[in-house]
Chain A
Amino acid sequence: MTTVSLTVNGQPVTADVDPRTLLIQFLRENLRLTGTHVGCDTSQCGACVVHLNDQAIKACTILAVQADSATVTTIEGIAQGSELHPMQAAFREHHGLQCGFCTPGMVMSAIDIVNRKGQALDEQTIRDELEGNLCRCTGYHNIVKAVAAGAQAMAQKPLPQAAE
C-alpha cells in the first residue's frame, strides 16, 4: 500500500492505496465520488474526464499515486452550492444530455476547451476539441450548442473553480 495525499474538490484527502489503483478507481471507490464514470478501458470515451491541476485529464489513464500533491476537480466540485456552473446550466438548457452517462466528462472537457480556446467557440472548433469524448445518445448536435452557449455564459459570469 502507498499513501497518497491530494486535494479533491477543495478538500484535502489522504489515503492508503494499492499502488495499481487508478485515479478513477480512487475517486469512485475510495471517495465515493461516483459522478465521474468509466465507459471504456482504452482511454477513448472520456466519461472519466476530471481536472488535474486545472487541466482536463482522463482519470482512467493515471494512477492515483501520480496525483499525489495535486489538485483534482470532479463534476461534483464545479457548482457553487445550488447554483450550477454555467457549463452545467448550458447542458441542461440546450438538452445536451440524454442518459447522462457521458455528461460529467463532457462538461469537464467543455470547461477545459473554454479555458484553452477562449469563450468564442465556432462549431468546427467545438467538434474537433470533443474528439476525446464519446456520446451515444445525442448525436452531438445539442452538445455542440451547449458548449458554445456555456462558453458564452462563462465569459459573462466567470466562476472560480471550487478547488481553487
Chain B
Amino acid sequence: MSATGIGAPVRRKEDQRFVTGQGRYVDDFNRPGQAYAYFLRSPHAHATIRSIDTGPARTMPGVVAVFTGDDLAADKIGGLICGWMIHSKDGSPMKAGPHPALAQGKVRYVGDHVAVVIAETLAQAKDAAEAIEVDYDVLPAVVNTSEATKTPVQVHEVSPDNSVFNWHLGNKDETEAAFARAKHVTKIDLVNNRLVPNALEPRAALGEYDFGTDNYTLYTTSQNPHVARLVLSAFVGIAPENKLRVIAPDVGGGFGSKIFIYAEETVCVWAAKKVKRPVKWTADRSEAFLSDAHGRDHVTHAEMATDENGKILGLRVHTIANLGAYLSTFSSSVPTYLYAPLLSGQYDIPAIYCEVDAVYTNTAPVDAYRGAGRPEATFVVERLVERAARELGQDPAEFRRKNYITQFPHQTPVIMTYDTGDYGASLDKALELADYKNFGARKQESARRGKLRGIGFSSYIEACGIAPSQAVGSLGAGVGLWESAEVRVNPTGSVEVLTGSHSHGQGHETTFAQLVSDRLGIPIDQVSIVHGDTDKVQFGMGTYGSRSGAVGMSAIAKALDKVIAKGKKVAAHVLEASEGDIEFKDGKFGIAGTDRTLGFGDVALQAYIAHKFSGQDLEPGLKEGAFYDPTNFTFPAGVHICEVEIDPDTGVTKIERWTAVDDFGVIINPMIVEGQVHGGIAQGVGQALLEGAVYDQSGQLVTASFNDYCMPRAMDLPSFQIGMTVTPCTSNPLGIKGCGEAGAIAAPPAVINAITDALGHEDIAMPATPQAVWRAVQKRMPVAAE
C-alpha cells in the first residue's frame, strides 16, 4: 500500500479550503445585479385559496416582481414530480396528486409555497411579502399517520381516502403457513419517528439567465445536479438540457434532503428570465424545518415466528408510511423497495410478507433521509429479534448468531441476493471490543450507585451501491442508476477525473484521487476531481445510497483501465515493441522482461504530440470515459453494541460505550470511513434519544427551530469504538460495499434495545427523552412513583 493509495488514511485534499473559510457554497456566490427572492408560505396546514392580492406588495420599496402559481402556469411551467412509480397490490398505479411549485388554489401544509417576492434586498422582499393579501378558506387538517385513511379530510382529489398506494412484497401464503407451525410468536408495535434532516447548510438557489445565449444557469445545493437538470428540463419545462447549466458547488451536507428537486430552485431559475436579473434565495433555518423533505414517519405492527429452538420461521409486517402533503422526488421508493427488501436483516428467514400503506397528510413531504427505508427496516427486525430473544430467555447475541445467514450467495424471500458477508466474525469482534463478558459486573456496579445499566445489540444490513438499472427499472424507477466517469490525462501526465458523483462531505476529492494514484502510479497532487457542474461532467446520477464508492469509483476504475489500455498502444509505438509485450506496473509502461520503460507522463506526452505513430492507426490524445452499471446491490453489514446507564431519578440516558464493527468490503480511506460511521451513529442516536418532528393537530410544526428540535450536541454523545471486518464485495471491480448510512441504520435499535434492557420492559418510544424514560421507570417501579 502506497502512502496515498487504496487503504491509506490520506488527509483530505479539500480541507485546506474548508479550514481557511475558502469553501464556496451556493450562498457564497453573488452575481452582478442579483435580486433576492423570498417565499410567502402558507400559515395553514390545509386551506383553499380564494384569492391572492399582490397589488400592495408590488408597490413596496425595492420590489422587482411578485409571482404566484398563475404566473408559472401561464408560462406552462409544470409541477414537481415523483420519479418512482409504485403499483398497489391490486395493480393500480399510485395516486399522485398535483405538486405545483407555487400553490394553485390550495395549500396542503404549513410552509407550502404561495407566492414569491423578488426585491433589491432580502429585507425588502420580506417586508413586501407581509403586504400580500391571501384570502384563505381554512379546512380541517389531517396530520396523524395512522389516522390518515380514517378521516373525512381529503388532501388530494385523486385520493378520497388519502391512500397513495397499498403495496406488498413477499409470499403471504408461505408466511401464514410459517406462523401456523410456529412454537412462539413475538409481536411488536413501533413508531419510527419523523425526523428533520438539518444539514448545517440550508438549501439555497441562485438562478441566472443569459439573453445573449439563451442559457440558464442554476447554482443549487444539490446532491445530484444532473438529475436536477433532467427534471427541470424534461418535466418542469424550464429549458432544454443543453440550455440549462446546473452547478452544485461545495454543499454543506445533504443526508438525502438535497437529492430532491424543490419549488424554490424551480422558481428562482424560471424567474431569472422573467425579471432579467439573477435571482438568489437562501433558506433560513425556519424555512428548512418547514419545507425540507422530512424523513421516516412509519407506524408498524410486526410479528416474528420462531420454532422450539429459537430459529426464525417467518416475519410479517404491516406499515403505514406518511408521505406528507405531496410526493417528493423519490418518496415512493423509500417505504417500499428501500424498506421491505431489507426485512430479512442478517438472518435466514424462510418466509416474509410485508404490506405497506402509504398515505397523504397535511405535513411536509417525506422522502429519503440518511438510510432511507433501511433504518426503518432494521428498526423493525432488530427490535423484534431482541424481544424474541428475551421472550425465549436466550442471550441476544447468541440468538442472533443462531439465525445468521452463513452461506453466500444467499437469496432472501424479499428480492435481495446477498453476495458475501461474515456476520459471525463481526459479532465476535464486537463482543470482544465491547467487553460483553464483563457487562454483568458493570451492571451490578451501576446498580450499587442506584443506576440502571443496559446493553443493546443491532445486527444491521443495508443495500447500497444503488443500483442495477434494469433491476430498479423493473421495480418502477424512472431512471437508471449507473454512474459515469471521464479520465482526462493532460500532456504533462496530470489527470482530471470528471465524475457524476457529488461530494458534500464525503471527501471524494481525496478518495477518488487515491484510486487514480493507486492505479496510475502518479502522485495524488497530480489528480483533480471535477464534479457538480453539468457543463463539465456530461451526465451522472449523483450521490446517495452509499453509491459513490461502489458505483462511482467503479466507473472511474473502468475508465482508468481504458486509459492504461490506450497507453499500452502508445508505449508500444514509442518503444517499438508489440502491444502484447507491453505491461503497465508501478506507474511505468515497459517491455515485459526488459528494463526498457516509459513513465506515465512520458506516454501521456507521446499520446498528445503523436510523433511516434500514425494518427490514422491510433487516435492521438489520452482521454477515456466509462459508464458503470452495477450487477447487484452491495450489502454492508455489521454489529453495533450500545451500553447505557440510566439515572432513574431524572430519566437521563447516558451512552457509556459504543462499539461498532462494520464490514464495508474494501476500504479506500479508513480515516474517512470511520468518520462516516461516527456521523451516522450520531444521527441514529439523535433519532433514538433526542429528535422528533412534532405537528400539532392543526398541522402547525411545533418543532420548527433548533430551540425546539433537539439536535445532538457534543455533550450528548460518547467517543465511539470502531472495528472493521472485511469480506470484499463480489459485484463490483473494487470490492467496495459502502459506508455512508451504516451508523444511522444501526444505531436506533441498539439504543432502544439498551434502554429496554436497562428498564426491564419493552415499551419505550423514540425519542427516548429523559421525560419518556422517567415515565417508563415509574411504570417499572410503581411504588417509587408514589
Residues of chain A at the chain B interface (Cβ within 8 Å): 18, 20, 28, 32-42, 44-45, 47, 74-76, 79, 84, 88-89, 91-93, 95, 97-104, 107, 123, 126-128, 130-131, 133-144
Contact = CB atoms under 8 A, between A and B. Distances in A.
Q: Main secondary structure on chain A at its contact with chain B?
A: loop
Contacts of B17: 100
Contacts of A93: 11
A98 B19 contact: no
Nearest to B706: A44
A142 B671 CA distance: 10
6 contacts: A28-B27, A38-B282, A44-B706, A92-B15, A101-B200, A130-B713
Contacts of B202: 38-39
Contacts of A139: 678-683, 712, 717, 720, 743
- 3 shortest interchain CB distances as A-B pairs: A35-B21, A101-B252, A100-B18
B200 A143 contact: no
Contact of A140 (B14, B23, B682): B682
A144 to B, nearest CB: 7
Contact of B250 (A79, A100, A137): A100
Contacts of A20: 123
B719 A144 contact: yes
B257 to A, nearest CB: 10
B704 to A, nearest CB: 10
B783 interface: no
Nearest to A84: B19
A137 B505 contact: yes
Contacts of B717: 127, 139-141
A42 B19 contact: no
B719 A141 contact: yes
Given A92-B12, A97-B19, A98-B675, A130 B285 contact: no
B19 A107 contact: yes
Nearest to A123: B719
Greatest chain B CB density within 10 A among A28, A38, A133 is at A38
A98 B705 contact: no
Contacts of A107: 19
Given A79-B20, A136-B711, A42 B14 contact: no
B284 A75 contact: no
Given A45-B200, A131-B714, A101 B25 contact: yes
Given A47-B200, A123-B719, A134-B713, A98 B706 contact: no
B707 A42 contact: yes
A136 B683 contact: yes
B120 to A, nearest CB: 12
Contacts of A144: 714, 719
B604 interface: no
B19 to A, nearest CB: 4
B14 A100 contact: yes
Contacts of A88: 19-20
B679 A91 contact: no
Contact of B285 (A42, A135, A140): A42
B286 interface: yes
A138 B21 contact: no
Interface in B16-34: 16-25, 27-28, 30
Given A41-B286, A104-B21, 8 more contacts: A39-B252, A95-B672, A98-B506, A99-B250, A131-B714, A138-B679, A139-B720, A140-B717
B399 interface: no
A18 B15 CA distance: 35
